[in-house]
Amino acid sequence: MALNMENNRKLKNAYLGYNTNNGIRKQSSSGGMFYELAISVLKENGIIYGAAFDTDFLVKHIRVDSQEQLKRLLCSKYVQSDMKDIYVPLKNDLQAGKTVMFSGTPCQVKAILNYIINNRLSLEKLYLVDFICHGVPSPGVWNSYLRYISNNKKISEINFRNKSNAGWHDYYFHAKYEDNSQLNESHELNSYMRSFLSDKNIRPACYECQFKDEKYYSDITLGDAWKIEKEKPKWADDKGTSLFIVRSTKGNQLLQRGSRTFIFDKTDYDRWKEYNPSIKSSTAEPPERKEFFEDFHEMKFGQFWNKYSYISKKAKIKYKLKSFLRVTGTQKIIRKFVK
C-alpha cells in the first residue's frame, strides 16, 4: 500500500485539454475533463462519488450511477462538502466488485484512502480524483450568504462559475429564483466570491495544507489552465481549458478510457506548477480574516454582508476597464505576456 502512495507522489505527467462537446464544456468549470472521466466509468456500470447541492443548496457528497445524475456533480462548489453519508455506500460498492471513481479535495481523497485501508478493501477498482485546491470555504459563511441573497424568495439554481455572461476568465456567480428572476455578478464583484478569492472565508487548516506538491494521494488531479495563452494560443477561446496531472498507472488507464471526445496534449508539470502556485503551496492567511470572522459572529447576517458587499470606486473602475479590454479582445493579448 505504501508503495502505491509513493508512486502517486512521484509520477507527475501533466496535460492540457478540452472537451469537444461544447455543451459539456459550457456546463463545466474548466474544460470538461471531469465529465469525460466520469462518463467512461458510468458506461461500464461504475459508480461516481462527488460534491453536489442538496435541495437547500448545502454541499454534500452523493452517489451517482447515471448520466442524468452526473450533471449534479459538474461545476465547482466553493463550500466545504459534507461526506458523512457516502462512506458505507462506497465500501458496499467496492465489496460488490463495482468500479468506483471518487472526486474531492486532496484531503478528502486521503480520508477516503484511509477509510479503504482501515477496512481492508481492495484499491484495484477505486479511482481517486482530486483538484488543485485554493482552500475550502466555511459552510457557515455560505449558509449566511444564502439567507442574504434569498430575500424571501426560493432559490432554484446556483452556479459559482457561470460562463454564459462573459466567458471562462470573467466567470459569474449565478443564482436563479423560482419566480425566474436572477442574480448574476462577476466573481470580481460578488461579495461571497470576493471573500473566497481574498482568502478570508476558508478553513484554518487550509492555511497549513498537508497535501501539496509531493503529497497528493490521487490518481489524477484536475484544475484550470488559466495561462493557456502562453502555451496553446489557438486553444485560448475563453470557453475553458483543463489542466490535469496523472499521478499513477491507474490514473493513466482512467485517462485513456475517458479520452474519446477530449483533445489533450502533454505539457511540462514544473511550468504549470509556477503558473498555479496552489499546486505546490498553501494559501497564506490574510490579516483581514480575524476581523472578517469576528464580524461574522457578532453582526446580523444582513449587516455583515452589506459591509462586505462594499466595492470601492477604484475597484469598480478597474473592473470596467478589464471588461472593456475583454470585449475588445485586448485582454487576451495582454494575458499572453503577463507573468
Who contacts 279 (Cβ-Cβ below 8 Å, separation ≥6)?
A: 132, 212, 213, 221, 223, 245, 272, 273
Asked whether the beta carbons of 244 and 31 are under 8 A apart, the reply is no
Give the pLDDT confidence score for residue 314 in this predicted structure.
Answer: 83
Nearest-angstrom CA–CA distance, 260 and 215 = 30
**Strand order, beta sheet including 47-53:** 59-64, 47-53, 100-103, 126-131, 220-224, 242-246, 13-19, 262-267
CA-wise closest residue to 197 among 189, 100, 15:
189
Retrieve residue 26's grid coordinates.
Answer: 459550457
Burial (CB count within 10 angstroms: exposed 0-12, middle 13-18, buried 19+), residue 321: exposed
**In the CATH hierarchy, which top-level class contains the domain 2-134+208-279?**
alpha beta
Angle, helix 301-308 to helix 139-150, in steps of 10 degrees: 90
Phi-psi region of 135 (alpha: psi -120 to 50; beta: other; left: phi over 0): left
CA distances in angstroms from 259 to 23, 98, 126, listed in the order given = 17, 21, 19
**In which band, very low, low, confident or very high, does the pLDDT at 90 lie, cut at 50, 70 and 90?**
very high
Q: For residues 84 and 327, what is the distance between their CA atoms, to the nearest angstrom? A: 45
Digit-coded pLDDT (tens) for 296-335: 999 999 999 999 998 888 887 887 777 766 666 666 666 6
pLDDT tens digits for 206-244? 999 999 988 999 999 999 999 999 999 999 999 999 999
pLDDT higher than threshold 90 for residue 260 = no
Domain ranges across the chain:
2-134+208-279, 139-200+285-312
- Is 7's pLDDT higher than 60? no
pLDDT > 50? residue 68: yes
Percent of the chain scoring above 90 in pLDDT: 82
